[in-house]
Structure 1
Amino acid sequence: MILAAALLALLAVLLAWPVPLAVARSAWPDRAPGTALLLWQAIALGGVLSLLGSLLVAGLAPYGDHVVAALRVLGDDVARGVLPPGTTYASTLALAAGVLLGAHLIVNLVFTIVRTQRQRARHRSLLLLLSAPMPEAPRTRLLDAAAPLAYCLPGTARSLTVLSAGLLDLLSPQEVEGVVEHERAHLQQHHALVLVAFRAWRIALPWFPVASRAQRAVGLLTEMLADDHARRHVPDPVLARAITAVATGTGGGDAEALDDAPAADSASVERRVRRLVHPAPAPSAVRVLVPVASVALVVVPPVLLALPALAG
């Protein structure tokens, strides 16, 4: 049990800083955003499982040789109001921290989802009042604003794509098509679900540096994935011009409503445009090894938890 706790703690430390830092500084995610998004999700899930697992295993160590037996003994002892002789303040603190942290993450995720849904409902109500439908584009609303705006508003019943009058004045018809396909890709690929999970992680652990870094990286990767969808409908140079024009226009840039998409800062826009102007495929090793590593990051923590029982 102690060895399993130590290995889980080591994995949690690796996934908390050095691994995310290395991924964030790498160049290959721009070439394979889907693969990189899979890796970021694996890092987040594997890190949480490792951290919780290390605390729970360390806290349950005095109760048995593996987690299942320890939980059984703990339940019996709690019912009888006694503690095993090996119980220490450290093990009790680790067990309490693991339980409280797990509950905190789950409750925060639920509250973040509920809060986001309420915000979207209010946003939808305002949009229906302040915008007009576009008959030539189903589920698209036109906002009478001079700023070039384009975003999508996910919804359980009916999603919306919002364009501004300023955007239509600024871009050519083909560029507008690229922007619309970009926003529709966010809805079709359900990027909002991924973004809300990473937002909840960041809100739950504001002191955890990797949470903020992961949210920013994932937000930019979803933009790149939407770009990849849009480039199937319009040429790359056209899409690149649209991204640049919207980002440098008066009033902001291309963003998803209420989903903490990355701001249209110069660095993010430059990365998106560069991969369109100078497309390059990701190395074959990345496309093969990264998915395998992603699966391993999620599988290893449960395996380490089960190892003492298997060894016994």
Structure 2
Amino acid sequence: MTVTAGALLIVAVLLAGPVPIWLSTADWPARSPAVALVLWQSIALAGGLSMIGSLLSFGLLPFGENLFDGIRSLVGHLFTGTLPPDTSFGAVLMLGAALILGSHLLLNLAATFSRAERQHRRHRHLIGLLSEPLPHHAGTRVIEHDSPVAYCLPGASRSATVLSRGLLRLLDADQLRAVIAHERAHLLQRHHLVLLAFKSWNSALPWFPIANRAENAVALLVEMLADDQARRVVDDRTLATAIALVGSAHQVDPRGTDVELADGPDHPFDLVTPRVRRLISPPVPLPRSAALVVAASAAALLLLPTLLLSLA
């Protein structure tokens, strides 16, 4: 089990630093945001599983020769209130760290989703009171606000696309169709669930810079995915113009908070400039073979810690 614990530690270190740093600075995700998003999710899941699995494997070394024997032995010793004679303080510390980290991540995930659902429910109630439907656009509500604002409001049974009066005055008919198609793509593809998962990761480990980098990268990818859906409705230049017009005044972060667009294209919350550039000069999509390699890599990342733990 020592070999397994060491292998899991190596995987955890790679997925906690070099791999996400490389992915967040690479150019190819803009060419195929769907497969890049799958890879980001695999990195997060496999990294967490490897980290917890490594701590657990090291902590169980005094209890058995493999993971399952070690867990059975640990449970037995917990009931009897004893420990194996060769149990070190380090092993106990590792077991405690695995339990605390796993519980912290799961509880934070549950709390993030529960808090978001409460906020969405309250927001939907307010929108129902303070908005009116947009004619000829089912599920679209208009609020009386001078700033150009557009966002989607997800719900289990009732979702809405919310637009401001200022947005309707700013955009022409085609640009408005592009914005509505973009926001509806967020709702149809359930992007809020992916964003909440990465928001939970970042809030659970605020001292972990990779979590913040991952959340920003994923936020940009889901915007690109929604853009690709809107491109089926209008041409690229119309969509790019609509994005630039709205973003130049005010940007609504799809994670649920209003974020002012910062100066400079490299600001982590700049979800406008990279998308406009991508629409004006569309990159060549990844070849099918390359996309399959990325998808296979994502699957392998998920399988690797699982196999290591089962073979421990």
TM > 0.5 = yes
- The runs of 5 or more residues in structure 2 that have no matched partner are 266-270
1:275 matched residue in structure 2: 278
1:62–1:202: structure 2 CA closer, same or farther, 3 Å change rule?
Answer: same
Letter matched to residue 290 of structure 2: V
| Kept after mapping to 2: 8 A contact 1:142/1:164 | yes
| Kept after mapping to 1: 8 A contact 2:141/2:161 | yes
Q: How does 1:257-272 map to 2 (within 5 A)?
A: 259=256, 264-265=261-262, 266-267=264-265, 268-272=271-275
Shift of 1:47: 0.4
2:60 aligned counterpart, secondary structure = helix
2:272 aligned counterpart, secondary structure = helix
Percent identity, please: 46
Report the Cα distance in structure 2 between the residues aligned to 1:103 and 1:260, rounded to whole angstroms: 27
Alignment TM-score, normalising by the size of structure 1: 0.94
Cα distance per residue 1:30-66 (max 9 Å; x no partner): 1111011001101100100000000000001111111
Cα distance per residue 1:257-280 (max 9 Å; x no partner): x53587644523221011111112
| Kept after mapping to 1: 8 A contact 2:55/2:97 | yes
Letter matched to residue 302 of structure 1: T
Alignment TM-score, normalising by the size of structure 2: 0.94
2:151 aligned counterpart, secondary structure = strand
1:208–1:260: structure 2 CA closer, same or farther, 3 Å change rule?
Answer: farther
1:253 matched residue in structure 2: 251
| Kept after mapping to 1: 8 A contact 2:60/2:71 | yes
Q: How does 1:199-210 map to 2 (within 5 A)?
A: 199-210=199-210
Report the Cα distance in structure 2 between the residues aligned to 1:45 and 1:271, rounded to whole angstroms: 27
Q: RMSD of the alignment, in Å?
A: 1.4
| Kept after mapping to 1: 8 A contact 2:251/2:259 | no
1:122 aligned counterpart, secondary structure = helix
Shift of 1:157: 1.9
Between 1:56-65 and 1:128-137, the stretch displaced more is 128-137
1:212–1:56: structure 2 CA closer, same or farther, 3 Å change rule?
Answer: same
Q: How does 1:1-312 map to 2 (within 5 A)?
A: 1-249=1-249, 252-256=250-254, 259=256, 264-265=261-262, 266-267=264-265, 268-284=271-287, 285-308=289-312
Shift of 1:231: 0.2
Report the Cα distance in structure 1 between the residues aligned to 2:306 and 2:236, rounded to whole angstroms: 43
Letter matched to residue 172 of structure 1: D
Shift of 1:78: 1.6
Report the Cα distance in structure 2 between the residues aligned to 1:4 and 1:224, rounded to whole angstroms: 39
| Kept after mapping to 2: 8 A contact 1:8/1:304 | yes
| Kept after mapping to 1: 8 A contact 2:140/2:161 | yes
1:304–1:117: structure 2 CA closer, same or farther, 3 Å change rule?
Answer: same
Aligned length: 305
Report the Cα distance in structure 2 between the residues aligned to 1:282 and 1:84, rounded to whole angstroms: 57
| Kept after mapping to 1: 8 A contact 2:148/2:167 | yes
- The runs of 5 or more residues in structure 1 that have no matched partner are none
| Kept after mapping to 1: 8 A contact 2:30/2:283 | no
